[in-house]
Structure formats: C-alpha cells, structure tokens
Amino acid sequence: MENRPAPQGPEGCLTVAIRIPVRIVVFVLVVPVRMVWDLLAAGAKALRRAVLAPLWRALIVTPSRWLYARVLTPLGHATAWLGRAVGAGIGWLGRGVAWVAVTLVAVPTAWVYRTVLTPLGRGAARVAGAIALGLCRLLWALFVWPPVTLWRWVLAPLLRYGLLAPGAWLYRYALTPAGHAIALLAGLAAAALAAVARGLAALAVLLLVVPAVWVYRTLLTPLGHAVVVVAREIGDALGHAWRAAGFVSRAVGRALKWLARNLVGRPARWAYVVLLTPVGHWVQDAVLRPAKKAALAAGRSAREALASARETVRTARRDAWRALVGGPPREQGGHRARTLGSTTTASGAVPAPEISLSKTEG
C-alpha cells in the first residue's frame, strides 16, 4: 500500500497570515540564488566534460594502462617465473637436506638412543630413585617431623586456650552489644536526616518546580508553538521558492538558448554556407591553386637553373685545373640530359648537343 501523508489539522490564523508574505519574500530572495546555482552547475559540468575528463584520461588513465600493460605485467610475469624457479630450487635443496639429515643424523641418533642412552637412562633412574627416597626420609626426619610434633602438642593447645577462647568471650559479651547500640544510633540519625531531606525537597518543589512548570505551560509552550509554525512556513516557502526558481531558471535558460540559436547560430550558419563557403571555394580555385602551381614551377625552374650553374662552374674549374697541371682529357658525359625534340634538362646534368643522324652520316 502506498504511504499517504497523514491528514493535517486545521490551520490557525497565524499560519494563514504569515504564509503568503513569507513565500513572496522568500521567492524574491531565492530566484537569483537558484539562477546563479544553475549557472555554476552548468559551468561545472562543462568544465568536467571539456577539461577535467580529458585531463583525467590523459594524465591518469592512459599512463596507468600503459604502465600496467608495458611495465607491471612483464614485471609480474618475470617475478612469477623467478618465483617458480626459486621455489623449484628450494624444493630440490630441501629434499637434499632432508635426505642428508635423515641418513646421516636421524638414523645414527636413533640407534645411539635405543642401544646406549635408553639402558643407561633406566639404570640411572633406578639409582636416582633409591637416592631420592633416602634423602626424602632423611629430610622428613630432620625438618618435618619436629615442627609437626611441636605444633600438635604444644602450640595448638596454647593457641586454643590462651587466645581463641578469651577472644570469643570478648566478641560475644562486649563487642556484639556495643555494635548493636551503634547500629541503633546510626538508624535514628539516618531517619532524622531523611526527614530533613524530605522537607528540603518539598520546599524546593514548592519554590522552584511549580513556578518553572507554570512558566513552561503558560509562556514557553505557546511561544514554541509559534516558533515551530513560523519555522515550518519558512521551510515550506523555501521549498516552493526553490522549485519555482528552478522552473524560472530553466525557462530563462531555454529562452537564452533560443535567442542564441536564432540571433547568432542561424545567421552564422547562413553566412558560412551562403557567403563564406563560395568565397572560399573561389579563392581556392582562382587564387591559391594557380599561385601554388606558379610557385612550384618557379621553384622547379630555379632549382634547374642553380643545378646547371653549379655543373658549369664545376666543369670550368676542372678545365682550368687540367690546363694548369695537365691530365687526361675529360670524358664526355651527360648525353642523357636531353632527348631529341625535348628542352627539359635533368637536375645535375649538362645538356648534350643535339646532332641529327644525317649530319653524323655525312
């Protein structure tokens, strides 16, 4: 069965009088607090999604996985293998030590115990028993029998008739009557003190408890009821105001979201799709791509010119060196730099002369 709230009693005029003003004041005070709270909660969620969660994954989760997979797992496998190897070695060593201990120590020791120590111990036990019996009888005759005899025939009668009998008579006929008299006097004093205590208690009740009960019933109880009513109404007002502020905050948030989407998002998307995208495509096709091709062609031409100039300088330097010091003639190379009908020069090769077949045959 569902738990239904217990029916409340009739409300007083004080409750009805303070409910509406308190709720209005609390609502006015709580709405800004609730909106600030919702903003802080949204900012905290965004911060967690955008910053804290990636940082957690980047700084903790990924290094931990890498450490576990690349360091701890191989280390654990190596430790387990080493433990198995050490355990096997210790097992073999223990079996060897056990065999040595049983063969070289336990068996000879058992033989010596059975054949030598056991008969020797039994004989020594018999001799020691006889000696101990004689010593016991001697000690009894020297130290035990004289004190026992003295106690039985001298000290016990003297103690019984010299001390115990007079003490019993003194306790029975002197101390017991004196104790009874003291107990009677103590009972009378206790009764007097109890009567005085009862009188003081009645006086304290009359002077303190009765006025305190009157103040509690006539002043504190109504005041407490009023305070409870006011506190309950303030609490209910805070709850209603907090829920209403939540509705207001969510409505304001949805309105701001709608305004941002219609005033910023949609115009920005329209400008991006209608204006920026065609302009970007035109700039890419008409400006950037031809400029890139021209730059690549200029770079290629510059590299070819620099390569040709470097090769010309090298050839001139070698010819000048041979003219000064002499040497074998330079081999003609680089005829593969150009082909018939082609003007393209390979990088790092000297252009070969174009000679037709008719000129060669003539």
- The three-state secondary structure class of 279 is helix
Determine the length of the chain.
Answer: 362
| Number of C-beta neighbours around residue 233 at 10 A | 22
**204 three-state secondary structure:** helix
Question: Residue 334 above 90 pLDDT?
Answer: no
DSSP string, 39-96: HHHHHHHHHIIIIIHHHHIIIIIHHHHHHIIIIIHHHHHHHHHHHHHHHHHHHHHHHH
- Residue 231 CB-density burial (10 A; 0-12 exposed, 13-18 middle, 19+ buried): exposed
Angle subtended at Cα 133 by Cα 130 and Cα 139, rounded to the nearest 5 degrees: 140
Residue 75 pLDDT: 93
pTM: 0.34
Question: Dihedral sign, CA of 110, 116, 121, 122?
Answer: positive
Give the amino acid at 113. Y
Q: Decide if pLDDT at 343 tops 60.
A: no
The distance from CA 208 to its chain's CA centroid, rounded to whole angstroms, is 58
Both tokens of 20, joined, read 């509406």
Q: Which of 172-186, 187-201, 241-255 has the lowest mean pLDDT?
A: 241-255
Single-letter amino acid code for the residue at 137: R
- Higher per-residue pLDDT: 126 or 14: 126
Q: What's the pLDDT at 39? A: 85
Average pLDDT of span 102-128: 85
Query: pLDDT-based confidence at 78, cuts 50/70/90?
Result: very high
pLDDT of residue 360: 42
Angle at 165 between CA 164 and CA 169, to 5 degrees: 115
Q: What is the pLDDT of residue 329?
A: 55
pLDDT for 336 beyond 60: no
Confidence of residue 19 (pLDDT cuts 50, 70, 90): low
Position with higher pLDDT, 304 vs 229: 304
Tokens of 65: 């996985």
* Radius of gyration for the chain, computed over Cα atoms and rounded to the nearest angstrom: 60
Question: If you average pLDDT over residues 144-165, what whole number do you get?
Answer: 80
pLDDT of residue 299 exceeding 60: yes
Give phi and psi for 355, each to the nearest 5: -120, 125
> Which token pair is 326?
């002499």
What is the structure's pLDDT at 42? 86
Q: In this predicted structure, what is the pLDDT of residue 193?
A: 93
Q: Which helix (H) or strand (E) holds 184?
A: helix 176-204
Which sequence spans correspond to the domains of the chain? 17-312
pLDDT given at position 326: 66
The answer to whether the beta carbons of residues 307 and 347 sit under 8 Å apart is: yes
- What does each C-alpha distance from 181 to 15, 169, 185, 194 come to in angstroms? 72, 18, 6, 20
Angstrom distance (rounded) from CA 74 to CA 208: 82
Per DSSP, helices labelled H in 107-144 are: 107-112, 118-139
- When mean pLDDT is compared across 145-159, 183-197, 257-271, the lowest value belongs to 145-159
Tell me which DSSP letter residue 251 carries: H
Say if residues 27 and 236 touch (Cβ distance below 8 Å).
no
User: Cβ(261)–Cβ(44) under 8 Å?
Assistant: no
Residue of 273, 261, 233, 262 whose CA lies nearest to 18: 233
pLDDT category, 5, cuts 50, 70, 90? very low
